Chains A and B, each alone.
Chain A
């Protein structure tokens, strides 16, 4: 069985110290939660996995995704989607254009438009194609950001405090939506959060970087 996101002896160093050390296999449909206080290196771990680690850090170990070693691949070829606490919808593009940006190239214009429409319908945003992202509510933006990422057909999903900007009720809704979509598509999910509710809802293994001072 080589489906899933595998972190093999992954260690990240600052100039002087070891910041994190993780070894974990995330099975398809599973959510691995990484917790810990700020500054412990949670976001650095995600940057290492997605391939945007700052040169101030050094990473050793390997990352495997669905049987492929992606450790040295550039970010755009890793097939890993990411969501941040901000929706980061491109403000100069309409909702539909944002989704089309995520969609893989190819297909006729009509095909692509149909896919965008289907994605919007899936999350209850019928007819939002031409809307300006700046006019959307927080929950609507989060749903567009999720669908934009899913349209790029990633093989794994990273969540960087993705729900922390939303208020309590909305938070639970969006979180359930994201976890459900990830499960439907059998995506391994790596979630970084400082919120216990997020961790509980994920129903998966939890790594607490603060308590274990790095080693798992």
Chain B
């Protein structure tokens, strides 16, 4: 096997494996630096004595499975009712920007919308509600984790939708739905019975990623999740930063429980898939044509619309807060707009922006080189990537971050390694590379290979073909892959916090750190900057190829 793919797999799986090892050791009291325990199971004993454990475990399961199931349902019904229509094309166009909004910024915006003193409540008060002060109800950070689940759903719907659209293009959906409708099936029922099985087969791994992520997310949980107790992942991070080093062993034990929970949930999901497939086949052969298809279709479109609107209005309210002067409760808008907030928080935000941009650029640049190396090796050496290799690429996204990142930190502590920027970059690469690779691989493989045949018949070497023909022609997908990578890097919270030892301050760590306070103006500034840092590369993707190829009609519109 050629060198680059091996290097890429090593760089991805190495940290995951090392991190898991670094979690197992202290969890069983086997790491000297962290302290000595009377028995190897002492960390687990302390963990099981923590009164919040049952609640934290339940939260992880309900929010994870709930967010995944509801997102998948919205996406499936939306595609069933609307794919191929004008409305759907509008949604498709909004997808990339919605997708690149970092989780933390979307969660802050959502909180500012729905909180008792949030924008929605202000807009209908006091006229409709009679409230002249915020009602005393716990909407955000509710004990059942509903706000956290909704906050995850508004971000996972665009992700699953993008994956489904990619899968849809390979499945000749339109002819299937035409035939189903000719046989008298309703649109939604016909789609679910003929197209959905094929699409789901292709988006299974992304669905698993959403499940693992939603169960173990930290930044969204800190912003929208309950505090008493917090979700398991948040508690693990709290233990990791406890001044008492022994608590890291308890965190490691918690991380193993978290890992077991995710594995259990994935197994549960797989069993549900099998049952659903069995029931689905009976449903298909029963021949029902569907009764309330149009109602379901409208419901799905409405849900997707609300999800998109929640992100867009969230960004709007972040913007307003970042410029807000005095803003008393039932007022719908602040008394005055001012640049004071930006003057106060701007310099810090710009400094964090610099750190964020540096890390994101270097990491996505390396991820791009590795991806091109892998894809080019596949082309030159005819290495066929099997389904199993695709699993390898998804693996770092399936292992919960809280299960192996604490382990890396403990290992680094164990060997006395310095935390800092370089380790943070390596940790980011673990999560950035899969997305860059997945984003680039389809257009790279779809490139008409006869261009290479013609060029080599003209005497060009493989490298000349790569640099003079293939990469320039693929400029747009290459830049898109870099932008995806940068957005992923910008949004990383836990790797930056844990591997950076709290000393690497990016827009995301700074913004999430503000969650415990109530300074909405500061959050507005940092949340906007964070969104801007993730969106800017996508804007460049739209502009740069059009400038470079302004004289080349064949390349101007992708």
Verify A81–B457 contact, CB threshold 8 A: yes
A149 at the interface (CB under 8 A from B): yes
Specify which of B456, B459, B468 lies most central, judged by the most chain A CB atoms within 10 Å of its CB.
Answer: B459
A152 at the interface (CB under 8 A from B): yes
A55 at the interface (CB under 8 A from B): yes
Closest Cβ neighbor of A157 among chain B residues: B457
Verify A92–B549 contact, CB threshold 8 A: yes
* A78 and B469 alpha carbons, distance in the complex (Å): 20
Closest Cβ neighbor of B474 among chain A residues: A92
Verify A152–B457 contact, CB threshold 8 A: yes
Verify B457–A80 contact, CB threshold 8 A: yes
20 CB < 8 A contacts A-B: A76-B459, A76-B461, A82-B453, A84-B450, A86-B448, A86-B450, A92-B472, A92-B473, A92-B475, A101-B455, A101-B458, A101-B468, A102-B458, A104-B459, A132-B552, A132-B554, A134-B552, A149-B454, A149-B458, A152-B458
Specify which of B448, B458, B460, B551 lies most central, judged by the most chain A CB atoms within 10 Å of its CB.
Answer: B458
A75 at the interface (CB under 8 A from B): yes
What 6 A-B pairs are tightest by C-beta distance, nearest first?
A: A91-B554, A134-B554, A134-B553, A75-B456, A152-B458, A76-B456
Verify A84–B454 contact, CB threshold 8 A: yes
Count of A-B contacts judged by CB separation below 8 Å: 73
Q: Which residues of chain B are within 8 angstroms of A90 by Cβ–Cβ distance?
A: 451, 455, 469, 473
How would you classify the secondary structure of chain B's contact residues: helix, strand, loop or mixed?
helix
Verify A82–B454 contact, CB threshold 8 A: yes
* Minimum distance in angstroms from B545 CB to a CB of chain A: 10
A135 at the interface (CB under 8 A from B): yes
Verify A81–B450 contact, CB threshold 8 A: no
* A136 and B421 alpha carbons, distance in the complex (Å): 52
Answer whether A91 and B552 are a contact pair too, CB < 8 Å, given A101-B458, A102-B458, A154-B457.
yes
Q: Which residues of chain A are within 8 angstroms of B139 by Cβ–Cβ distance?
A: none
* Minimum distance in angstroms from A55 CB to a CB of chain B: 5
Could you mark each residue 536-558 of chain B with 1 if its beta carbon is under 8 Å from any beta carbon of chain A, else 0? Answer: 00000000000001011111000
Verify A52–B459 contact, CB threshold 8 A: no
Verify B454–A91 contact, CB threshold 8 A: no
Q: Which residues of chain B are within 8 angstroms of A135 by Cβ–Cβ distance?
A: 553
Q: Which residues of chain A are within 8 angstroms of B554 by Cβ–Cβ distance?
A: 91-92, 132-134
Q: Which residues of chain B are within 8 angstroms of A51 by Cβ–Cβ distance?
A: 456
A88 at the interface (CB under 8 A from B): yes
* Minimum distance in angstroms from B382 CB to a CB of chain A: 5
* Minimum distance in angstroms from B452 CB to a CB of chain A: 8
Specify which of B448, B475, B551 lies most central, judged by the most chain A CB atoms within 10 Å of its CB.
Answer: B551
Closest Cβ neighbor of A92 among chain B residues: B472
Q: List 5 extra interface pairs beyond A77-B459, A91-B554, CB under 8 A.
A: A75-B457, A90-B451, A90-B469, A94-B551, A149-B454
Verify B459–A152 contact, CB threshold 8 A: yes
Answer whether A75 and B553 are a contact pair too, CB < 8 Å, given A92-B473, A101-B460.
no
Closest Cβ neighbor of B460 among chain A residues: A76
* A80 and B553 alpha carbons, distance in the complex (Å): 30
A42 at the interface (CB under 8 A from B): no
* Minimum distance in angstroms from A40 CB to a CB of chain B: 20
Closest Cβ neighbor of A47 among chain B residues: B453
Q: Which residues of chain A are within 8 angstroms of B450 by Cβ–Cβ distance?
A: 84, 86, 88
* A51 and B455 alpha carbons, distance in the complex (Å): 13
> Which residues of chain B (188-245) have a CB below 8 Å from chain A?
none
Closest Cβ neighbor of B449 among chain A residues: A52
Q: Which residues of chain A are within 8 angstroms of B473 by Cβ–Cβ distance?
A: 90-92
A45 at the interface (CB under 8 A from B): no
Could you mark each residue 67-91 of chain A with 1 if its beta carbon is under 8 Å from any beta carbon of chain B, else 0? Answer: 0000000111111111010101011
User: Which of B451, B457, B475, B555 is within 8 Å of A50, CB to CB?
Assistant: B457
* A135 and B448 alpha carbons, distance in the complex (Å): 20
* Minimum distance in angstroms from A73 CB to a CB of chain B: 11
Specify which of B454, B456, B549, B552 lies most central, judged by the most chain A CB atoms within 10 Å of its CB.
Answer: B454
Verify A50–B453 contact, CB threshold 8 A: yes
Closest Cβ neighbor of B553 among chain A residues: A134
Q: Which residues of chain B are within 8 angstroms of A84 by Cβ–Cβ distance?
A: 450, 454
Q: Which residues of chain A are within 8 angstroms of B553 by Cβ–Cβ distance?
A: 132, 134-135
* A151 and B554 alpha carbons, distance in the complex (Å): 24
Specify which of B460, B461, B554 lies most central, judged by the most chain A CB atoms within 10 Å of its CB.
Answer: B554
A143 at the interface (CB under 8 A from B): no
Q: Which residues of chain A are within 8 angstroms of B552 by Cβ–Cβ distance?
A: 91-92, 132, 134
Q: Which residues of chain B are within 8 angstroms of A104 by Cβ–Cβ distance?
A: 459
* A106 and B472 alpha carbons, distance in the complex (Å): 24
* A174 and B458 alpha carbons, distance in the complex (Å): 20
Q: Which residues of chain B are within 8 angstroms of A79 by Cβ–Cβ distance?
A: 459
